[in-house]
Amino acid sequence: MASVLSLEHLGKQLPTQQHTWLFSDITVDIASPEITLIMGKSGQGKSTLLRLLGLLDTADDGTIRHLGKTPTEWGPEKWRMSVSYVAQQPVMLPGSVEDNLRAVSRLHKRPFETELARTWMEAVGLGEMDWSKQAAQLSGGERQRVALVRSLLLHPTVLLLDEVTASLDTISKRATEELLVDLHRREGTTLLWITHDWEQARAVGQRIWFLAGGRLLEDSPADRFFEGPQTQEAQEFLSAHLVQKEDAPCLP
Amino acid sequence: MSSMSLWFSFTFVVIALLLSMWQKLGLEKEIAIGTVRCAVQLLAIGYVLQFVFHTDHPIYQALVIAMMIGVASWNASRRGDGLPGILWRVTASLTVTATLTMSLLLVLGLIKPTPQYLIPITGMIIGNSMIVAGLFLSHMKRETETARGEIEALLCLGANKKQAIHGVLKRAVKASMIPTFDTMKTIGLVQLPGTMTGMIIAGANPLEAVRYQILIMFAFSSSAAISAALISALAYSSWFTRESMLRP
């Protein structure tokens, strides 16, 4: 059976400096549905990588395939419906919360799954939200969750999550993580998830991609990555985090 | 108007030059170039029109109109600099707008099919459509940048190019048409427009002149709508790559 997602020698140059690679030669394969967390320092091209997979940016090298077919074979709209990107800075569409939730139904002339939308809104801690509220008035965290539910209603095969819990409080973050993990278990959705949140990576990640120096340095099962990373860069990255954690003030 | 009077009219340019020098605006070069170009272009078109009216051959009329469309398209398409194929898209919309509007004016018997009517009125229609197309492109450029997040959010939900840019397109079409309708609202109260002024100066009855001006303004409203609709339908895809990605 064809891989859910495969990347072959994928590379992207810096937009401002031609012939300087942000990252290059990324070859990796997601054979079956799983939760992959992408980690690495800022500026390594993690978001750009997700944008390439979500067909929002063009790669300068390499090819990508989803279920054995290239984006051209899928057609851009079909690809994006199956491999959906959720941005770090969520953008609300003009109108109310309901208008946003109904976006997929409106675009693709599908019946609106009211009950499912309500269940998922509740799951991310927005059960009490007034759907007639103007989306522009929502807080950052509310926008992030509404944008996530809006994308979930597409029922994509792969969700590209760009730090989607970054502006959430701990309770909302845990609730969102639970929803996404549950979705993976029930519907077999593959999650490709950028995070800087260590606990999150350990709690939900089945596999870790570690990006550094313009390369995909590690592609390991999560347990193995956290217990004994293969590369020196990953070891330094992990130890820097541990130092940071030990230095953090302990609250009574 | 005698040639001597025409020379005297340069007094107004001299006033502008003196003011620029006095206020140290540094506009002397611009004023000089503008003055020379204005005089040369108008005199040239005067001779061309005299020749075309005299020969009364359709091929010359078509050539004059083609030149107008060419210059207007080049001018408007500069607002969409960097967009692939924008020149032919603007040219097509201006050509279709002029053809449709003029056909309607002729079929309804509102103007006579003579070069004295066809050329100036077509020129005005093309000129107005050029402004509409130019405004549309400027607004689209600005709006697409502002609404980049909104467009990409829709693309991520599987929207096609047209669905993704629809909101921006609507705002740009509206903004490009507003000046035409604003002019219609204040015309006669704020400014006396060209056709009417020209006819009155040439000795026509003011009421007859007003009738023609009304005709022109109504024709402008339809040509503004047609050109905005056409340019938006033809140009929106220029903001995307072949893979339906929003251009950087």
Say whether both B23 and B107 belong to one domain: no
Residue A82 to chain B, least CA–CA distance (Å):
8
Distance CA A15, CA A12 (A): 9
CA nearest to B172, candidates B128, B125, B96, B228: B228
Mean pLDDT of B205-221: 86
pLDDT (tens digit, 9 = 90+) per residue, B44-60?
Answer: 988 988 898 888 788 99
pLDDT (tens digit, 9 = 90+) per residue, B188-198?
Answer: 777 677 777 88
Q: What pLDDT was estimated at residue A246?
A: 58
Residue B83 zone, left/alpha/beta (φ > 0; ψ -120 to 50; rest) = beta
Residue B90: other Cβ atoms inside 10 A: 31
| Residue B191 domain-assigned (yes or no) | yes
| Token reading at B119 | 């050329």
Final residue of a structural domain among B55, B79, B95:
B55
**What is chain B's mean pLDDT, rounded?**
90
Say whether both B42 and B128 belong to one domain: no
Say whether both B43 and B159 belong to one domain: no
Cβ contact B154:A154 at 8 Å: no
Q: Is the pLDDT of residue B9 over 90?
A: no
| Token reading at A122 | 């509740």
Set of chain A residues whose Cβ sits within 8 Å of the Cβ of B149: 87, 89, 91
| Token reading at B181 | 């309708």
Say whether both B69 and B2 belong to one domain: no
3.60.10.10, 3.40.50.300, 3.40.50.970, 3.40.190.10: CATH of A5-244: 3.40.50.300
pLDDT (tens digit, 9 = 90+) per residue, A150-179?
Answer: 999 999 999 999 999 988 899 999 999 999
Q: Among A12, A80, A89, A108, pick the best mutation site for testing chain B contact (most B Cβ within 10 A).
A: A80
Distance CA B113, CA A160 (A): 63
Say whether both B107 and B49 belong to one domain: no
Domain ranges, ordered by start, for chain A: 5-244
Say whether both B51 and B147 belong to one domain: no
Say whether both B21 and B1 belong to one domain: yes
CB contact under 8 A, A58 and B241: yes
Q: What pLDDT was estimated at residue A240?
A: 79
Of B149, B245, B248, the CB nearest to A15: B248
Number of domains in chain B: 2
Torsion angle of C-alpha atoms B177, B183, B185, B190, degrees rounded to 10: 160
Set of chain B residues whose Cβ sits within 8 Å of the Cβ of A90: 153
| Residue B247 domain-assigned (yes or no) | no
Set of chain B residues whose Cβ sits within 8 Å of the Cβ of A72: 243
Q: What pLDDT was estimated at residue A252?
A: 42
Distance CA A143, CA A62 (A): 34
Say whether both B48 and B68 belong to one domain: no
Say whether both B49 and B151 belong to one domain: no
Residue percentage of chain B with pLDDT more than 90: 57
Set of chain B residues whose Cβ sits within 8 Å of the Cβ of A15: 248
Q: Is the pLDDT of residue B33 over 80?
A: yes
Q: Chain B: which residues have CB within 8 Å of chain A?
A: 149-150, 152-160, 163, 167, 241, 243-246, 248
Say whether both B51 and B67 belong to one domain: no
Q: Please calculate the CA angle A66-A173-A92 and round it to the nearest 5 degrees.
A: 65
pLDDT (tens digit, 9 = 90+) per residue, B155-181?
Answer: 999 999 999 999 999 999 999 999 888
Residue B155: other Cβ atoms inside 10 A: 25
CB contact under 8 A, B243 and A56: no
pLDDT (tens digit, 9 = 90+) per residue, A100-123?
Answer: 999 999 999 999 999 999 999 999
Q: For chain B, where are the E strands, in sequence order?
A: none
- The per-residue pLDDT string of chain A (252 residues; one tens digit each, 9 = 90 and over) reads 789 999 999 999 988 777 899 999 999 999 999 999 999 988 899 999 999 999 999 999 999 999 999 999 999 999 999 999 999 888 999 999 999 999 999 999 999 999 999 999 999 999 999 999 999 999 999 999 999 999 999 999 999 999 999 888 999 999 999 999 999 999 999 999 999 888 889 899 999 999 998 999 999 999 999 888 888 888 888 887 766 655 555 444
pLDDT (tens digit, 9 = 90+) per residue, B75-88?
Answer: 999 999 889 999 99
CB contact under 8 A, A93 and B153: yes
Torsion angle of C-alpha atoms B233, B238, B242, B244, degrees rounded to 10: -70
Set of chain B residues whose Cβ sits within 8 Å of the Cβ of A84: 156-158
Residue A90 to chain B, least CA–CA distance (Å):
8
DSSP-H helix ranges across chain A? 46-53, 71-74, 76-82, 97-101, 103-108, 114-123, 140-152, 170-187, 198-204, 222-227, 232-247
> Three-state SS for B207?
helix
B17-32: buried (b, 16+ CB within 10 Å) or exposed (e) per residue?
Answer: beebeeeeeeeeeebe
> Three-state SS for A192?
strand
Distance CA A216, CA B114 (A): 73
CB contact under 8 A, B158 and A93: no
CB contact under 8 A, B157 and A84: yes
Say whether both B178 and B233 belong to one domain: yes
Set of chain B residues whose Cβ sits within 8 Å of the Cβ of A54: 156
Question: Which domain range does residue B47 map to?
Answer: 1-55
Residue B13 CB-density burial (10 A; 0-12 exposed, 13-18 middle, 19+ buried): middle
| Residue B244 domain-assigned (yes or no) | no
- Indicate the pairing of strand A83-86 with strand A35-39: unpaired
The pair phi, psi for residue A174, each rounded to 5°, is -60, -40
Say whether both B92 and B167 belong to one domain: yes
Final residue of a structural domain among B27, B55, B83:
B55
| Token reading at B130 | 């050029």
Residue of B nearest to A78 (CA): B158
Q: What pLDDT was estimated at residue B196?
A: 78
Set of chain B residues whose Cβ sits within 8 Å of the Cβ of A154: 157-158
Of A58, A78, A154, the CB nearest to B157: A154
